[in-house]
Amino acid sequence: MDDFWSGVGVDLHLEPDAGAGRRAGLEKALRDAVRDGRLAPGDRLPATRRLATGLGISRGTAKAAYDQLVAEGYLTARQGSGTRVAALSSVGAEEPGAAARARAPRFDLRPGSPDVGAFPAAAWLRALRRAIASAPSLAYDYGDPRGRIELRTALSGYLGRARGVIAPPERIVVTSGYVQGLALLTRVLDGTAVAMEDPGLPFHREVVRRNGGTVVPVRVDERGVRAQDLDGEGAVVVTPAHQYPTGVTLHPERRRALTDWARSGGGLIVEDDYDGEFRYDRQPVGALQGMAPGQVAYLGTASKTLGPALRLGWMVLPPHLVDAVADAKLHSDHHTESIGQLALAELIDGHAYDRHVRACRLRYRRRRDQLLNRLDARRVRGIAAGLHVLVDVADEDAAVARAEAEGLALGRLADHWHGPAGDRTQGLVIGYGTPRERAYPEALEVLAKVLDGS
């Protein structure tokens, strides 16, 4: 029978082998728990009196077992701090994370991540405190699968003001990020052929496939996705603000062609507003959704502006999709966690979110300019916005090999193609959001060395 007990500030579960004797069985159970990691170094154990009461043994037996494991080096006992698991120094054992650190590159210029060190911790904490102080008790219960009304209302105002999105709160569904939004839409479309940009992110293609969609590649050129190549697909996924990975902004003529395609054939445009907040050299390009709110599902997240760890995203849906997507969300994870939603609503309503985005925009523009100055003799594309650029190279494999030898991690264009080979080009996808400020200049020096072939 399982035995449970509570001690001073801790709960512990053990199953001593009664056949081995009370003391020996307890010693083995504790020893095994330490060895297999269920009890970690520094964990506090229950007092011997509590332990004895919970197991129905004498306190002397419990104390003897502890003393034996202290003698063997499994436990430590100090006056005033109780009995704790010792820090074992087994031969060949690695400290947690040592292997991961050993594999980490010296310099990380891979695309897809922001500077997480710039997370506005103080502003977030203030917003969180205000949210918790004013939250009704029902905020801690199961919630609306569409998300908290406070966040949907805040997003309605922000997206309309900053991105030109027509976003009534009743048409917004809060998600745990872009991937969940894409997965929910694919399920609701139920087997529809989905056109996806080529080149594009392989992971997103796999999300569509695993949720029942059929992926059809549609090429991207210097004007963005080729809307004229769409032929019978039920939906198309696009990144019009700053295409990933080419960095091209969707041309106005292509925007009109896409919306005409959707209106005439009843197709759905899925707009991934990737890098939409980060445009540097002229006025930000508004969201495509504002041109055709009845044909566009707009998806955005806080992953690049705040950080991926928050797991907060949103969809602004055409009216006919709201109920179906909300139902799919309900049966996926019921609802996105509520407290973070309330904090983000506070951050938006108090305009701290706007201030943070503006500060990030300045920081990333400086980084972009540093990169362009360092690589001034090379063709660098996609520079108008975002957190990545595309650098043309003649021999992608050779450049990647040199980068790996220098401890430099970067992206390669070859990983993003998925249609027929045709006229595929070569290039390196360079992200400038990830490195910390102090490491960035040296990372650029190493990148220039790699591109020079030296």
The predicted-structure confidence for 357-387, as pLDDT tens digits, reads as follows: 999 999 999 999 999 999 886 789 999 999 9
The pLDDT-based confidence of 2 (bands split at 50, 70, 90) is very low
Is pLDDT of 156 > 60? yes
Longest C-alpha distance within the chain, in Å?
84
- The terminus-to-terminus CA distance of the chain in angstroms comes to 68
- Are 37 and 43 in contact by the 8 Å Cβ rule? The answer is no
329 or 112, higher pLDDT = 329
Least-confidence region, from 52-56, 101-105, 276-280: 101-105
- Are 151 and 353 in contact by the 8 Å Cβ rule? The answer is no
Q: Give the C-alpha separation, 13 to 207, whole Å.
A: 39
Helix (H) or strand (E) holding 82: strand 82-85
Q: Exposed, middle or buried: residue 169 (CB in 10 Å: 0-12, 13-18, 19+)? A: middle
Helix (H) or strand (E) holding 331: helix 322-333
* Closest listed residue to residue 428, CA positions, set 398, 384, 385: 398
Q: Exposed, middle or buried: residue 131 (CB in 10 Å: 0-12, 13-18, 19+)? A: buried
Residue 102 pairs with which residues in a beta bridge? none
Proportion of the chain above pLDDT 70, given as a percent: 94
Q: What is the pLDDT of residues 159-170, one digit of tens each?
A: 999 999 999 999
pLDDT at 386: 92
What average pLDDT score do residues 418-431 get?
86
**The pTM is what?**
0.83
Is pLDDT of 185 > 90? yes
Please state, as a whole number, how many other Cβ atoms lie within 10 Å of the Cβ of residue 414.
16
Report the top-level CATH class of 119-354: alpha beta
The pLDDT-based confidence of 454 (bands split at 50, 70, 90) is low
Is pLDDT of 322 > 80? yes
* Closest listed residue to residue 47, CA positions, set 101, 5, 83, 91: 83
pLDDT at 71: 86
Provide CATH code, domain 107-117+360-452. 3.90.1150.10
Residue 198 pairs with which residues in a beta bridge? 219
What angle, rounded to 10 degrees, do the helices at 352-374 and 338-349 form?
80
Least-confidence region, from 1-15, 66-80, 273-287, 409-423: 1-15
Least-confidence region, from 10-24, 65-79, 254-268, 290-304: 10-24
Mean pLDDT, rounded, of the chain:
89
Helix (H) or strand (E) holding 448: helix 440-452
What average pLDDT score do residues 124-151 get?
94
pLDDT at 149: 97
Proportion of the chain above pLDDT 90, given as a percent: 68
pLDDT at 88: 62
pLDDT at 8: 44
175 or 39, higher pLDDT = 175
Domain residue ranges in the chain: 3-85, 107-117+360-452, 119-354
What average pLDDT score do residues 175-202 get?
96
Of the CATH numbers 1.10.10.10, 1.10.630.10, 3.40.50.300, 3.30.428.10, which one belongs to the domain with range 3-85? Answer: 1.10.10.10
pLDDT at 1: 38
Q: What is the pLDDT of residues 39-92, one digit of tens each?
A: 888 888 888 888 888 888 899 998 999 988 888 888 998 877 788 998 864 433
Is pLDDT of 7 > 70? no
Q: Give the C-alpha separation, 5 to 400, whole Å.
A: 56
Residue type, 146: R
Show the tokens assigned to 380. 């660098």
- Are 202 and 419 in contact by the 8 Å Cβ rule? The answer is no
